[in-house]
Amino acid sequence: MDQKLIDQYMDELIYAQQGELDAVLMYNKLAEKVKDAKDAAAFKQLAAEEGRHASVFHAYTKKVLQPKKTKAVFVPLMYSIAGRRVLYPIIAKQEYAAADKYKNIVSLFPDVESVMNDETRHGDIVNGLLK
Ligand SMILES: [Fe+2]
């Protein structure tokens, strides 16, 4: 791996790694909260995949980060207050936004491609729960 390139993009890579870690915690907490078993199973699966994403970025950054709890508290709360029909499209939109963001670095960091594709699929899965 090109360490100079990694150093040049270190802030973005750390930011991405942090976002993935936060998503693991958020999806696991959401899986505990949701009433539908199908939704819970989907969110557990997404949590596991976000964990793999974090490891992809870790391979570049070599930094050990701690998940931040903000989204893991806020998103399940929003499920209680607003319900799944409001919340899930917002989550899907964030997944698509993540995929868009990764588009900018995928040519430099090839391992990000599968992550990017997963985020698009995640958006589809979360939207699909409402169908
Ligand atoms: Fe991810």
Domain map of the chain by residue range? 3-128
| Per-residue buried b or exposed e for 27-44, using 16+ beta carbons within 10 Å of the residue's own CB | bbbbbebbeeeebeebbe
Is the per-residue pLDDT at 69 higher than 90? Answer: yes
Q: What is the mean pLDDT of the chain?
A: 97
In this prediction, residue 19 carries a pLDDT of: 98
Q: Given 1.20.1260, 1.10.260, 1.10.600, 2.60.40, which CATH number is that of 3-128?
A: 1.20.1260
Is the per-residue pLDDT at 62 higher than 90? Answer: yes
In this prediction, residue 1 carries a pLDDT of: 79
Span 98-120, pLDDT tens digits: 999 999 999 999 999 999 999 99
For the segment 26-34, the average pLDDT, to the nearest whole number, is 98
**33/17 Cα distance (integer angstroms):** 25
Span 77-87, pLDDT tens digits: 999 999 999 99
Cα of 130 vs centre of ligand 1, distance in Å, is 21
Cα of 15 vs centre of ligand 1, distance in Å, is 12
In this prediction, residue 13 carries a pLDDT of: 98
Is the per-residue pLDDT at 126 higher than 90? Answer: yes
Cα of 4 vs centre of ligand 1, distance in Å, is 24
Cα of 119 vs centre of ligand 1, distance in Å, is 6
The angle, 0 to 180 degrees and rounded to 10, between the axes of the packed helices 10-33 and 84-103 is 160
Res. 17 pLDDT band, cuts 50 70 90: very high
Cα of 62 vs centre of ligand 1, distance in Å, is 18
CA–chain centroid gap for 70, Å, is 14
Q: How many CB atoms lie within 10 A of CB 56?
A: 19
Tell me the whole-structure pTM to 2 decimals: 0.96
**47/30 Cα distance (integer angstroms):** 10
In this prediction, residue 44 carries a pLDDT of: 98
Cα of 30 vs centre of ligand 1, distance in Å, is 15
Cα of 68 vs centre of ligand 1, distance in Å, is 15
